[in-house]
Amino acid sequence: METFKKLDLVKEYNLNKEDEPLFWLKIDILIESLSIDENNKSGNYDSALKRNWNKFFDIPYSKKVFGYLRKHKLPFKLIRDSGIQDIKSDNFVSNIIINSIMKLVIINNEETLTIQKLREKTIIWAGMFIKDEKALNEELNSLIYHYFKFKFDVESFKETLTPYKDVYLKLLKISLEYFKSKDKITDEEIKNMLEYKEERDIDDIVAVSLDRERLKSTYELVISHNKREIDMLKEEIEELNSKQRESFNYSMNQYKFGIRDLFNLINSKNYGNILDRFYCHASGSKKLTEKELTMLVKNLIISLEAFGISPYSEENIGSSIEVEDKNIGTEYRVSDDVYKVNSRKGQIVFPGWKYKDETLELPLVKIKWS
């Protein structure tokens, strides 16, 4: 299975930090609501997501959304595919309870809600059944970081979540019934959980314990936040390094291929094995006649042109020109510093070179001394 990172979706939709909170919330509502929607059972989860995508987004659906589901929302896929009773992990179902209750807290809230208040209210409600404080805090910290690491806009969340209150009540109900089938909760306890109402004087009743819990949870949230930031930075650095390595390796291979192609062209039999014969001439093992040398030099120029390397300017070799400052370095190069001589006249002695449309070297103008 292809490794999926949340960063893949962020990049796919070019999300900025302001847009991320509601983006993740809407995707999660879509995934979570479809897991129990009897009217959307036809086809696989991917096709159901695609069918319902435009209810939440005005951007094209991407297969990466299904990658996110498989990596980060697997319990909901299991519920849709075969029902909650086939989930083998109690932790999976406990996390659905925490997720549902946190969202119901946002939906039911009638006062100014801070992240700390959201944590406290969720812990009190979910803690009626989940007694493992460490597991409860870790999952809740993970959810808060997932949704609110960049921005806490509870009003927008409440507005978006409220139409789906029944979805989260149903998810809470079937999760509690899962534990009832394992004799871990009674009907009366389920009733109390589903009919839970926040007490008006809850802050006075639990003030001392919440202060202690606040310090502990704040510390855990900071640690969790920093760890996730580090993990995301590591992912980005590794991805960047991987792309740089791939780019460097590709460039090196292209360079090697280019050198090889140039060599094969120049030293091919079609052009007279130019390099071989030049070497033999230079080493004295097989001297070339003047006619042969002239022919090989011409063949060298022809083979370079076949590769894309050609003279920058052939027609003006030997012609005299007036050297102008504005053209030095753009139209030609000069053999001497023109400020050291009186003359501003010169003669084009070398043609310069180009590779296709790219200049390799400008023509050389030799300054005429006066």
Same domain, 289 and 322: no
- pTM score of the predicted model: 0.56
What is the Cβ-side half-sphere exposure of residue 6, based on CA atoms within 13 angstroms? 17
β-bridge partners, 332: 328
CA R_g for the chain: 37
pLDDT of residue 319: 86
What's the domain count of the chain?
A: 3
Would 61 be classed as within a structural domain?
Answer: yes
Same domain for 180 and 200?
yes
Handedness of CA 280, 282, 286, 288 (dihedral sign): positive
**CA distance linking residue 19 with residue 331, whole number of Å:** 51
50 and 148 co-located in one domain: yes
Using CA atoms, how far apart are residues 168 and 205, in angstroms rounded to an integer? 27
> Does residue 223 sit in the same domain as residue 315?
no
Shared-domain flag, residues 47 and 183: yes
Does 55 share its domain with 136? yes
The vertex-7 CA angle with 5 and 10, nearest 5°, equals 135
Q: How many CA atoms lie within 13 A of 295 on its CB side?
A: 10
* Domain membership flag for residue 258: no
Same domain, yes or no: 81 and 116: yes
Point out the residues of the chain with pLDDT beneath 70: 1-4, 198-222, 224-226, 337-343, 369-370
Q: Do 36 and 170 contact (CB within 8 A), yes or no?
A: yes
Which pLDDT score is estimated for 302? Answer: 87
Q: 191 and 297: one domain?
A: no
- The count of other CB atoms within 10 Å of the CB of residue 232 is 15
Let me know if residue 292 belongs to a domain: yes
Question: Which residues fall within 8 angstroms of residue 78, CB to CB, at 6 or more apart?
Answer: 84, 86, 87, 92
Look at residue 86 and tell me if it is in a domain: yes
Exposed/middle/buried for residue 346 (C-beta within 10 Å: 0-12, 13-18, 19+): buried
> Is the residue at 254 inside a domain?
no
Q: Which two tokens stand for residue 113?
A: 């809600």
Same domain for 70 and 207: yes
Position 251 in a domain: no
Q: Please report the pLDDT score of residue 272 as a whole number.
A: 86
Q: Are residues 234 and 322 located together in one domain of the fold?
A: no
1 domain residue, yes or no: no
Which domain does 119 fall in, by range? Answer: 6-243
Tell me how far apart the alpha carbons of residues 29 and 257 are, in angstroms, rounded to a whole number: 52
**How far is it, in rounded angstroms, from Cα 360 to Cα 353?**
5
pLDDT at 260: 86
Any domain includes 262? no
Among residues 211, 227, 243, which one ends one of the domains? Answer: 243
Shared-domain flag, residues 313 and 281? no
344 & 272 share domain = no
Give the pLDDT confidence score for residue 163 in this predicted structure. 95
- Residue bearing tokens 């009540």: 169
